[in-house]
Amino acid sequence: EDQVTQSPEALRLQEGESSSLNCSYTVSGLRGLFWYRQDPGKGPEFLFTLYSAGEEKEKERLKATLTKKESFLHITAPKPEDSATYLCAVQGNNFNKFYFGSGTKLNVKP
């Protein structure tokens, strides 16, 4: 069964304290793994797509990596404005199916 598990559910960091969010997945034929950021009361905002194991993508303080079983979203020296819920989704062989994790709520304190 295709599924996505994110951990931890919540993460509190001090400003500047680097950490990583995990997304473990099981899917039939990975077409893509997506990371999104969601602020309260808003729709998810696209961050990255990773297509194959070993691939890495970076954007400002964020870096996403992918293996055959999981993806990590590394946050380097986070700032309070990085506080949000980060969602992971995978797309399998069925183009119309995107499986979402439950998200990690990140809180960065100044």
Partner 1 sequence: GAVVSQHPSWVICKSGTSVKIECRSLDFQATTMFWYRQFPKQSLMLMATSNEGSKATYEQGVEKDKFLINHASLTLSTLTVTSAHPEDSSFYICSAAGANEKLFFGSGTQLSVL
Residues near partner 1 (CB under 8 A) are 31-32, 34, 36, 41-46, 49, 87, 89, 91, 95-96, 98, 100-103, 105
Coil vs helix vs strand at 69: coil
What's the closest the beta carbon of residue 7 comes to partner 1, in angstroms? 13
Whole-number minimum distance, CB 100 to partner 1, in Å?
Answer: 5
CB closer to partner 1, 51 vs 67: 51
Query: For partner 1, which is the closer residue by CB, 14 or 96?
Result: 96
d(CA 79, CA 28) in angstroms, rounded, equals 36
Q: How far apart are CA 67 and CA 102, in angstroms?
A: 20
Residues whose CB is less than 8 angstroms from the CB of residue 88 and which lie 6 or more positions away in sequence, other chains included: 4, 6, 23, 25, 33, 34, 35, 36, 71, 73, 100, 101, 103
Q: What angle do CA 77, 81, 82 make, to 5 degrees?
A: 55
Closest CB 97 distance from partner 1, rounded Å: 8
* Shortest distance (Å) from residue 43 CB to partner 1: 4
Nearer to partner 1, 14 or 95 (CB): 95
